[in-house]
Amino acid sequence: MPKTSVVSKAIAAAFVVLTVSVIGGIITMIILYKTEISTMNPTPRPTRPVSTTVLPPVMRLPKNLIPLSYKVFLMPQLYTRIIEKVNVTSPNQTMDFLGNSTVSFQCVERTSTIYLKSMNLAVSNGKVKNENTNKMIEVSAMKTHRDDTNFLEIQLREALEEGGNYSLFLTFKGEISENLDGMYVSTYVEGVPEFLVATQLEPADARKVFPCFDEPDMKAEFHVTIIHRRDTIALGNAEISGSNIVDDEWKYTSFHPTPKMSTYLFAFTVSEFTATPSTHERVQINTYARPEATAAGHAQYAASITGKILSFYENYFGIDYTQKKLDQIALPDLAAAAMENWGLVTYYEGSLLYEEGVSSVLNKEQIATTIAHELAHQWFGNLVTMKWWNDVWLNEGFATYMSLFAVDNVEPTFQLVTFEMDALASSHPLSPPQEEVQKTSSIIQMFNSITYCKGAAVLRMLADIVGERVFIEGVKVSNYFKPHLVDMVAHWLVARFMEPWTKQIGYPVITINTTNGEVNQKHFLFNDSAESRHVKIGYMWNLVRVSTGSTALINIFKGPILFKKDEFLSKNGEWILANINCTGYYRVNYNPENWDRLLTQLEIDPHRFPPMNRGQLIDNAFFMARAKLVEVTLALNSTRFLRKELDFLPWQLTVRNLEYFVVMFDRSEVYGPMQAYLREQVKGLYNSLRNYTDKSTIPKDHSSQHSQMLAIEVACSNELPECLEMATKMFADWMNSNNTNPIHPNLRSVIYCQAVAAGGKKEWDFAWARYQSSSDTSEKEQLRVALSCTKKTWLLNRYLEYTLDPDKIRLMDVDSTISDIAWNPAGHALAWNFIRAHWDYVSQQDGDMLINAVTSRFSTQFELDELERFKAEYDLGPAANEVYQAIEQTHVNIQWVRENKDAILEWFERETAE
Ligand SMILES: *[C@@H]1O[C@H](CO)[C@@H](O)[C@H](O)[C@H]1NC(C)=O
Ligand SMILES: *[C@@H]1O[C@H](CO)[C@@H](O)[C@H](O)[C@H]1NC(C)=O
Ligand SMILES: *[C@@H]1O[C@H](CO)[C@@H](O)[C@H](O)[C@H]1NC(C)=O
Ligand SMILES: *[C@@H]1O[C@H](CO)[C@@H](O)[C@H](O)[C@H]1NC(C)=O
Ligand SMILES: *[C@@H]1O[C@H](CO)[C@@H](O)[C@H](O)[C@H]1NC(C)=O
Ligand SMILES: *[C@@H]1O[C@H](CO)[C@@H](O)[C@H](O)[C@H]1NC(C)=O
Ligand SMILES: *[C@@H]1O[C@H](CO)[C@@H](O)[C@H](O)[C@H]1NC(C)=O
Ligand SMILES: [Zn+2]
């Protein structure tokens, strides 16, 4: 649907040039995205260097050599099963791998030193050849730098000449990692322990597999051969060109050359996995999983949507998927949820496998979203790649944003919506300067929620500003190269408009005064004086779109505000609502009169506003209250209309914002009236959905399914009698049934927790027995959490004791179990005593969430003193930082409670007075 818009003149002029044909390259110009489509982008002519003195590089590879292709042989010696030949304690399983590689490259600047990246590899046998003359060039020294640079420095007897083509051969040896990085081993049990080899190279671990020019813009073709045990199969980025069993032990599998790609996308696996095919007219798609999982059909759902998603993107981007095959593989171990390796996408099992009748609607949504995200990367990231990691938001923001369209296309009932303003505590701009992202550790830190969520939100805003149709044309990969001057101007403008959003931390708050029509913006901060010290604002947010209720469009550009003042003037006392559907990446505050009118409108007829904005009003009110821009009672007033609210988003945002109120007050006299209030508010929602639970059937649309889960959680935790009765009954039905679980997978985690909370020893013991006997990971996890929900202190104490016994609670679950107990108001004090009594044991893990959980309620001077004593008397190790933060937070809590408690108590009491 085309949008009517009123654009200020200056901006309108700027956007006139942004027509469909010229916007292509938004991305190119926002931050020098670079494509490698050979027909459109011939290898750039080497530029003549100004100076010939070459200084040693600092962190980054010098750009004097340009890689063209690699020929790589890799031989992981792992067996997929333990061969108990020698004896049981020392079977002949081996973690070694061998390999050799030949990299061909062009020299664009004379040099007698080759720098590559290499880590944890024993490299030898370097041979350099001039490919133009076929002459060998003698290597005089080879040195691996054992520091953050990971340089492999190769000194030559004679210089490589500008314009010449050369190759470098190396042999190397390494060890398969057990830490899920580089070339690593993953294990699982199907009757017997099984092993497989996989890779995870993003961002900077290709150097652990073979020496290479390990930077994203140093792309090359890869010709790969894997030598593996003959009873296993090898998968690579490209399709298999041939395989060949050479003896009783070994099989060679060779792959066609990959497209020109970055090293971090290199991947291979060696396993005994089996495949589930998908249909696609041209590309051969297979989804690999453990044989048992494949046989049980757990890859079916993924397989059923993958072909459709790929076709969707081919249409959307206007360019075919570049390879002939696409493999996906569900790995029992992976350091991320998934990784977009070109042609061989790896997934953590839980992100890809779906078990009918066991997995919940959330699983299904996550699977579809994850596949859509990774497949979007086959274009954004793989084909078109950021120059350096400081701009990884372009990869991740695009994939995240695009995945919503793809999911909407293949699963229209999901209706995913995002509202992710809150994830963005101020920590770094989307696109920090390159110099700040040099070390591998800083590169890894770029993969955070700001990169993913703010990236997607800012792109959504851009799409909204230029119009979806123009945006879609703009992202078509085939539109990237339009070398006209007018395009350059358009690109420059887009880049300038985007800059404040990409180069600055955080986002603005727009304040609208409807009494005089004034609008202004400032950086949104919770605590102006404390936070602004760390934040240097270079410039205003250039382009802010504020749509009012009547879909008018107003832009604010660089300080001077370019809109007609009366746009925001309320002449006859009518309300004005800004940022319709929250497409703008900012928060909005109003004068008290307008707030009042908006909240009144909500109570009269909430459906006058779209669900997004109903949620936004609540979220903004609570954030403004935290930043002391409005009174806390205004935030509470914004929740009044929920009595009539059946949509998920406003409820979800309320629950999120009230979490802090709950932990601050659940041990105080505020909690009774607060529960009474929420009980009343949620009744309507709960009752509108309760028939479904009674019949163990589930609403069709996903949004209602989410509402149902949330309704039960809010209703039961605030002790709505019919909810407690329902949860107890459903759990009892399970206890009385023979092994079949009558509870719908969607509702299991909430019912388990609420039933254990409402119940006693019998429920707890049943859940504990199930926890111990279940082999289903997600079921086990739900039960482990549910066990912490009981209100009986003696059960909680016993459960705490269990965490000391690794046969009862695995070491990796100790922290989260104690944390779960600490989040329960009945367990809070027990957990705090417990961790101090057993600090040596519980601090074996890194403990970051543990400290946060046990101190979350601290809001009195006495508790602060205890925490200070803890800091002074215990050996905190790596938890010291968390304790320091907890002390800071406790100060904040003490002040917040002091300033707000009376008003909040009075508000809830008045609301619930008969
Ligand atoms: C490991 O044991 C298997 C089975 O006994 C044997 O065939 C193989 O040669 C052994 N490999 C090594 C490297 O010792
Ligand atoms: C198993 O092999 C290891 C190493 O080869 C050796 O130290 C150990 O004594 C052997 N154990 C038995 C039971 O033979
Ligand atoms: C690289 O290793 C493979 C497999 O071991 C071997 O066949 C090949 O000859 C080696 N390449 C060179 C140049 O030595
Ligand atoms: C807001 O979003 C809803 C659907 O979520 C859509 O129907 C409506 O047209 C949108 N409103 C505007 C002004 O874009
Ligand atoms: C809004 O404008 C009116 C009229 O200029 C002024 O009296 C009032 O203080 C302003 N309100 C806010 C919240 O700035
Ligand atoms: C909240 O609502 C009450 C009742 O309508 C009203 O008296 C009060 O002024 C509101 N509080 C704020 C801060 O707007
Ligand atoms: C739920 O069931 C009761 C009794 O069967 C019925 O009266 C009520 O209208 C139903 N509610 C909904 C929302 O379907
Ligand atoms: Zn991604």
**Overall residue count recorded for the chain in this entry:** 914
Is residue 254 located within the same domain as residue 389? no
Does some domain include residue 583?
no
223: annotated binding-site residue?
no
Question: What is the best residue among 83, 84, 90 to mutate for testing ligand 2's pocket, by most ligand atoms within 8 Å of CB?
Answer: 90
Instruction: Print the SS3 string covering 111-171.
Output: EEEEEEECCCCEEEEEEEEECCCCEEECEEEEEECCCCCCEEEEEEEEEECCCCEEEEEEE
Ligand (nearest to CA of 553): 4
Distance CA 275, CA 288 (A): 4
Structure tokens at 98: 């061998």
Residue 607 labeled ligand binder: no
Residue of 578, 655, 645 whose CA lies nearest to 617: 578
Q: Give the end-to-end CA distance of the chain in Å, rounded to a whole number.
A: 48
What pLDDT is attached to residue 2?
26
Give residue-wise pLDDT tens across range 453-511. 888 888 888 887 777 777 777 776 545 544 455 555 566 666 667 777 888 888 888 88
Pocket of ligand 6 (CB under 6 A): 596, 631, 633-634, 637
User: 533 burial class (0-12, 13-18, 19+ CB within 10 angstroms)?
Assistant: exposed
Last residue of one domain, picked from the residues 505, 524, 552: 505
| Closest atom of ligand 7 to CA, residue 687 | 13
Which H/E stretch holds residue 73? Answer: strand 65-76
* Ligand 5 close to Cβ of residue 856 (< 6 A): no
DSSP helix/strand/coil, 825: coil
Q: Is 374 a catalytic residue?
A: yes
The residue range of the domain holding 64 is 8-47+58-169+205-258
Give the residue carrying structure tokens 């004086």: 529
> How far apart are the CA of 79 and the centre of ligand 1, in A?
9
User: By the 8 A CB rule, do 500 and 539 touch?
Assistant: yes
**Which of 505, 522, 538 is the C-terminal boundary of a domain?**
505
Total number of domains constituting the chain: 3
User: Which of the residues 215, 374, 779, 882 is marked catalytic?
Assistant: 374
Tokens representing 534 are 């760390």
Q: Is the peptide bond before 673 cis (omega within 30 degrees of 0)?
A: no
Q: Which DSSP category does 776 fall into? A: -
CATH of the domain at 118: 2.60.40.1730
- Output the domain CATH number for residue 424: 1.10.390.10
Find the ligand nearest to 84 CA.
Answer: 1
What's the CA-to-centroid distance between 438 and ligand 8, angstroms? Answer: 20
CA 94 to chain CA centroid, Å, is 34
| DSSP H or E segment with residue 509 | strand 508-513
In a domain, 823, yes or no: yes
Contact 220, 103 (CB under 8 A): yes
Residue nearest ligand 1's atom 1 by CA: 92
> Is 298 annotated as ligand-binding?
no
Question: Is position 479 within any domain?
Answer: yes
CB atoms within 10 A of CB 247: 7
Q: Taking the C-alpha atoms of 630, 635, 640 and 644 in order, what is their torsion angle to the nearest 10 degrees? A: 120
Distance CA 168, CA 130 (A): 9
Domain assignment of residue 330, yes or no: no
Q: Is 192 in the pocket of ligand 2 (CB under 6 A)?
A: no
Is residue 374 included in any domain, yes or no? no
Q: In angstroms, rounded to a whole number, what is the distance separating the alpha carbons of residues 23 and 596?
A: 42
Considering the domain boundaries, does residue 683 fall inside one? no
Lookup result for tokens 């679980």: 741
- Contacts of residue 767, defined as CB under 8 A and 6 or more positions apart, other chains included, come to 752, 756, 783, 786, 787
Residue reference for tokens 């982008």: 41
* Residue 600, ligand 4, Cβ within 6 A: no
| CATH number where 800 lies | 1.25.50.20
| Residue 88 beta carbon below 6 angstroms from any ligand 2 atom | no
Q: Which residues line ligand 7 (CB under 6 A)?
A: 688, 691
Residue 204 CB contacts under 8 Å (≥ 6 apart), including other chains: 117, 150, 214, 264, 440, 443, 444
The protein residue whose alpha carbon is closest to atom 14 in ligand 3 is 100
Dihedral over alpha carbons 648, 654, 659, 662 (to 10 degrees): -120
Ranges of the chain whose pLDDT falls below 50: 1-25, 28-52, 423-424, 478, 481-483, 531-540, 542-563
Among 192, 226, 258, the domain boundary falls at: 258
- Alpha-helical (H) ranges within 4-136 are 9-16, 26-30
Cα distances (Å, whole numbers) of residue 258 to 4, 34, 278, 437 = 46, 18, 22, 28
Task: Ligand 6 pocket test: pick from 604, 637, 677 the residue with the most ligand atoms within 8 Å of its Cβ.
Answer: 637
What does residue 106 show for φ and ψ, rounded to 5 degrees? Answer: -110, 140
- Domain presence at residue 501: yes
pLDDT in tens, 734-766: 999 877 888 888 899 999 999 999 999 999 999
Pocket perturbation via mutation, ligand 6, pick of 634, 636, 909 by most ligand atoms within 8 A of CB: 634
State the virtual CA torsion across 307, 309, 311, 312 in degrees, nearest 10: 160
Strands 221-229 and 65-76: parallel
Find all residues with CB under 8 Å of 605, minimum gap 6, and list them. none
Same domain, 251 and 389: no
Residue pLDDT, tens place only, 420-455: 665 445 578 888 899 999 999 889 888 888 888 888
Q: Is residue 748 part of a domain?
A: no
